[in-house]
Structure 1
């Protein structure tokens, strides 16, 4: 067996994209055909050098991910961009292409087609219990960041830090302001529909922000045991009795020695996603090293204020006022003035000597707003522009460029 990875030794990154018609931009459920084109047969996952491709629950979604733990985030922008081009080249033969952002702006989720091949029994179990014909299952594309830990001490530090940063993430990453053909009232609509998609069994998602649990034993008892007991009457075959059943915004994978952060909307191009991930990792490193506050204080921060703030940031993103002095102290904010989420991020990056260069992806996000705000700015009151705006977003993905307000 290889030695376990320790904190920040490596990174697992997963990017999900929609497959759409190249002309109409309507969803095209052909992920299996894309994988067959790349592999010569229908497989649920194919390894293509540094990046692997795999299916997701919905047949119109493809996931590009690091092929195993990557030792650095730095080269991933170029790797992912090359694979976006490769996927688009294959899809062109079907008159299709990849579309970014976390939600398709006008798809009808009732028309969703589930992946029909291997793993289908798991997807069908989800469909039977939760009914996947809703935006919260059928129409959400995210970025997952996997971070390793070895043992309880590292898990406790990392889990504490992730809980603190989670309510701030939609301020950078919100990219889903349009749903059912119109603005939804949320900049991060994906997280609004995600947080309610398992409400039939509330213990799966809980408050999205995970509970203050800092050892594997406590996690097994307080989260997994309750979850498995609650699903059992609906899942007598035990099809879903696995860690992936956990639908919190960050989930512990003790089988892999990693925590997976799942609350990030996908951006317009990999450069934007990786810029956000670099900021997150640097901030988590600072928290874990107790730069601003001791671990004992971090672990005392209660779930409900964090969850309440998260509900506000999925609505108003970067403009959300942050009033919680206890949380602000965890990031070294000692000013009596209460910042917006954007001001807090600028403060954090300055503290970490990471003030973004002019016109860099992070500078665009902090200057012009998250992608959701830029989309709304361009839409204005004219919803007839949706198709041309999302066509431009597809071009941004193809060319690896930022979408500007």
Structure 2
């Protein structure tokens, strides 16, 4: 039976959270113990119906993902919310809880990194040997992954062209990693700065973050997978590592599954926020692939280098970035010399409201709130108000854990407490 899906038929969503101490917010490397408490044995995942819990590279991170691709984002949001409540209830036995955002603000990765020691650990061991997985770039970054289906080369080409175009501006709505080691990093999206450099030993793995102009399976293998295979060979005598796993561009094509995974989204404070952003991304990809504002030919023409230049600005200043490339703005139907990323995202939301009003309807209130108040990174910095003491940082990030528990937007939580 052919199980491949067509464009926008269903979606796969993955959310990564940290496990921290209830009192101190210190990292708690107990994902394996949590899973064992449910299954009675160590395993790399727990199937809870709509949502599956899964391990990650490091022991303090737990991934929640839809067990199979889903069409109903509203129901999936509810599923994530209920599973987070369930997990937090079970973590009480360890005096622990889940914490959102893309980076722990106080973690010392040299001392607090513990790699997953159970099944599949031989792969993690090789990664650790090659890349030294103890830095922030390996053990202290949490993201949201969005998987989108394609049926054949024609659908892949349309989807890949559209995704490449929006990758540089994703930090402009999703950045949530402004603080590391108890200090501002100078980036609103420091996670993505680490993301692009943590495998620099083998630069072919990440490339320019924005994928190359590959619009067929054959071209993708030739331009991306084959160079990775050649580059990694000297480091992998046992031939365990596969290019398909190693590829770390901001969007990754999986031809075996017929899907592209977007990996440049910092995780937000609660599923409601993540899923609203995901819905907006899906909506604008629908607009682009249908050629409502620009032709397929124009979308394909953008080089990775040109898109990467915008990306480099965006990870620093996120929604405040001024986009001065008028040709880029034209791709989204805008005749302007320049525009901030925040203004561009506002325009993209209006486009989706026009072309897919029913689809985006459930998410409008949340999206308007995010666009008005700024990225989570900006809201974190505003809440810290220039005071980077451990006490103040813990105060703000405790608020974030409350938002996660209650599925509330961070700004709303702050307002309620004032």
TM-score by length of 1: 0.97
Q: How does 1:6-25 map to 2 (within 5 A)?
A: 6-25=6-25
Paired position in structure 2 for 1:187: 188
Q: How does 1:271-350 map to 2 (within 5 A)?
A: 271-336=272-337, 338-350=338-350
Q: Distance in 2 between matches of 1:168 and 1:96?
A: 35
Aligned-pair distance for 1:45?
Answer: 1.1
Are 2:395 and 1:395 equivalent residues in the alignment?
A: no
Question: Secondary structure of 1:262's match?
Answer: strand
- Cα deviations by residue, 1:305-336 (Å, 9 ceiling, x for unpaired): 21010111111000101111221111111134
Paired position in structure 1 for 2:231: 230
Q: Distance in 2 between matches of 1:39 and 1:157?
A: 42
Q: How does 1:196-275 map to 2 (within 5 A)?
A: 196-275=197-276
Aligned-pair distance for 1:242?
Answer: 3.9
Structure 2 stretches of 5 or more lacking a match? Answer: none
Q: Which moved more, 1:69-78 or 1:132-141?
A: 69-78
Q: How does 1:34-53 map to 2 (within 5 A)?
A: 34-53=34-53
Q: Distance in 2 between matches of 1:358 and 1:128?
A: 43
Question: Secondary structure of 1:24's match?
Answer: coil
* The one of 343, 351, 361 aligned to 2:366: 361
- The answer on whether the counterparts of 2:228 and 2:243 sit within 8 Å (CA) in structure 1 is no
Aligned-pair distance for 1:359?
Answer: 8.6
Question: Secondary structure of 1:17's match?
Answer: strand
Aligned-pair distance for 1:221?
Answer: 1.2
* The one of 356, 370, 374 aligned to 2:375: 370
Q: Distance in 1 between matches of 2:379 and 2:282?
A: 25
- The answer on whether the counterparts of 1:20 and 1:26 sit within 8 Å (CA) in structure 2 is yes
Q: Distance in 1 between matches of 2:268 and 2:204?
A: 29
Change (3 A) 1:89 1:360: same
- Cα deviations by residue, 1:164-201 (Å, 9 ceiling, x for unpaired): 01111111100000011111000001001111000000
- Cα deviations by residue, 1:206-252 (Å, 9 ceiling, x for unpaired): 01011110000011111111101100100111111240110101000
Question: Secondary structure of 1:75's match?
Answer: helix
- RMSD between aligned alpha carbons? 1.4
Q: Distance in 2 between matches of 1:39 and 1:80?
A: 19
Paired position in structure 2 for 1:30: 30
Q: Which moved more, 1:318-327 or 1:123-132?
A: 318-327
Question: Secondary structure of 2:18's match?
Answer: strand
TM-score by length of 2: 0.95
Q: Of Structure 1 and Structure 2, which has the larger fraction of its residues in helix?
A: 2
Structure 1 stretches of 5 or more lacking a match? Answer: none
